[in-house]
């Protein structure tokens, strides 16, 4: 189950001569991040309290999902040794019971499956648990990677499922996992994508073996699908009042960066900006605040006393 890279259970395998699922997903997001993960892991900041809370929540959701497949065996709890986990998995498979965190390796890829459910005489269904309410591209890539590794390791996979949270679920008392989760069959999509994994792994091994970190410009990928832990390092060249702060700037911000324009004040007069973005540019050039007194007055004049205020806070722990 996972909400981001670091929450992956097999995270401890990063130093192994293989690519774990979490490392693979990092490589899908950014080759520079992949290089650091393998060559300079100590320079990747540890998750902060907020990120840790998200990981912990993902773990809790994963535990809950196991109740959908009761009577299972957790493989290798507390064991870090790569070979021991693989051997233990092979022994446990024979019991034909649901398995949690079974470990497999193939062609340089290493994966632990959230849940494997035995089907018939010798087949298995693979279930990946996500703490999100929808299926995202990265989830399919995740399952494609597992499909590639498990198939290569000799597992006969019948179907692959994504277990995600039911957005319609309303809690009344104890959580019923059958109501809380939606099991989505993604077999066809994961299987089609799995054909690309071998080539992607080859590319990733090449990147990891580079002497120098690949030069990857910052871009939307720094926050998609996950906020990159190297954000601070890679984005530190940006000056105060930079183009990334453009209001609703979207891809326009990165177009400016690709032209070498980093500061708001350096945006050319004829560059297309919205009214609000133009205000930002102007204040950056003049150093003077922008105050639209008539607009403020119009809002204030529309208020009829007495006035009541409702203040509320909320938080989102999903990603
Ligand atoms: S911040 Fe962006 S460019 Fe830097 S490693 Fe992360 S994803 Fe890659």
DSSP calls for 74-118? ETTTT---HHHHHHHHHHHHTT-S-EEEEEEEETTEEEEEEEEEE
Q: Which atom of ligand 1 is nearest to the CA of 221?
A: 7
| Phi, psi for residue 156 in degrees, rounded to 5 | -85, 100
Domains of the chain: 5-208 (3.90.320), 220-301 (no CATH)
The whole-number pLDDT of residue 3 equals 41
The pocket around ligand 1, CB under 6 angstroms, is made up of 29-30, 32-33, 216, 218, 221-222, 228, 230-231, 234
Residue nearest to atom 4 of ligand 1 (CA): 234
Atom of ligand 1 nearest to the CA of 33: 5
- pLDDT for the residue numbered 312: 82
Mode of pairing for the β-strands spanning 73-74 and 99-106: parallel
Which residue has the CA at smallest separation from atom 3 of ligand 1? 218
CA-nearest residue for atom 5, ligand 1, is: 33
Would you state the pLDDT for residue 192?
97
Going by C-alpha positions, the residue among 137, 131, 109 that lies closest to residue 53 is: 131
* H or E stretch covering 27: helix 21-29
Q: Tell me, what's the pLDDT at 17?
A: 62
Nearest to 44 by CA among 63, 22, 61, 17: 22
Report the candidate in 180, 207, 232 with the shortest Cα–Cα distance to residue 108.
Answer: 207
From 56, 1, 28, select the one nearest 137 (Cα to Cα). Answer: 28
User: How many whole angstroms from 225 Cα to the centroid of ligand 1?
Assistant: 12
Q: Determine whether 207 is exposed, middle or buried from the number of CB atoms within 10 Å of its CB (0-12, 13-18, 19+).
A: middle
Q: What is the pLDDT of residue 7?
A: 42
Strand-pairing partners, residue 100, are 74, 115
Tell me the pLDDT of the chain (319 aa) as tens digits. 444 444 443 343 444 468 999 999 999 999 999 999 999 999 999 988 888 888 899 999 999 999 999 999 999 888 889 899 999 999 999 999 999 999 999 999 999 999 999 999 999 999 999 999 999 999 999 999 999 999 999 999 999 999 999 999 999 999 999 999 999 999 999 999 999 999 999 999 999 999 999 999 999 999 999 999 999 999 999 999 999 999 999 999 999 999 999 999 999 999 999 999 999 999 999 999 999 999 999 999 999 999 999 988 776 655 4
């Amino acid at each position: 189950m996972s909400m981001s890279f670091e929450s992956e259970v097999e995270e401890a395998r990063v130093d192994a001569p293989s690519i774990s699922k979490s490392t693979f997903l990092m490589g899908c997001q950014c080759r520079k991040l992949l290089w650091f993960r393998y060559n300079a892991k100590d320079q990747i900041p540890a998750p902060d309290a907020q990120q840790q809370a998200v990981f912990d929540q993902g773990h809790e959701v994963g535990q809950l999902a196991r109740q959908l497949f009761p009577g299972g065996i957790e493989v290798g709890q507390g064991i870090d040794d790569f070979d021991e986990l693989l051997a233990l998995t092979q022994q446990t498979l024979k019991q034909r019971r649901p398995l949690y965190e079974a470990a497999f390796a193939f062609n340089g890829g290493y994966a632990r499956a959230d849940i494997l459910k035995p089907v018939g005489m010798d087949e298995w269904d693979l279930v990946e648990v996500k703490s999100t309410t929808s299926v995202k591209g990265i989830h399919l890539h995740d399952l494609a990677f597992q499909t590639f590794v498990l198939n290569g390791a000799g597992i006969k996979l019948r179907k692959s499922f994504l277990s995600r949270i039911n957005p319609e679920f309303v809690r009344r008392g104890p959580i019923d996992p059958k109501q809380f989760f939606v099991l989505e069959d993604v077999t066809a999509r994961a299987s089609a994508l799995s054909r690309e994994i071998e080539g992607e792994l080859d590319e990733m091994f090449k990147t990891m073996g580079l002497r120098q970190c690949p030069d990857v410009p910052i871009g939307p990928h720094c926050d998609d699908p996950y906020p990159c832990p190297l954000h601070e390092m890679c984005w530190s060249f940006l000056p105060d009042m930079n183009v990334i702060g453009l209001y609703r700037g979207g891809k326009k911000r990165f177009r400016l960066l690709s032209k070498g324009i980093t500061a708001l004040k350096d945006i050319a007069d004829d560059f297309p900006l919205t009214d609000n973005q133009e205000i930002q540019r102007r204040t950056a050039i003049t150093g003077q605040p922008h105050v639209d007194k008539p607009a403020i007055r119009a809002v204030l004049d529309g208020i009829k006393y007495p006035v009541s205020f409702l203040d509320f806070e909320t938080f989102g722990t999903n990603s």
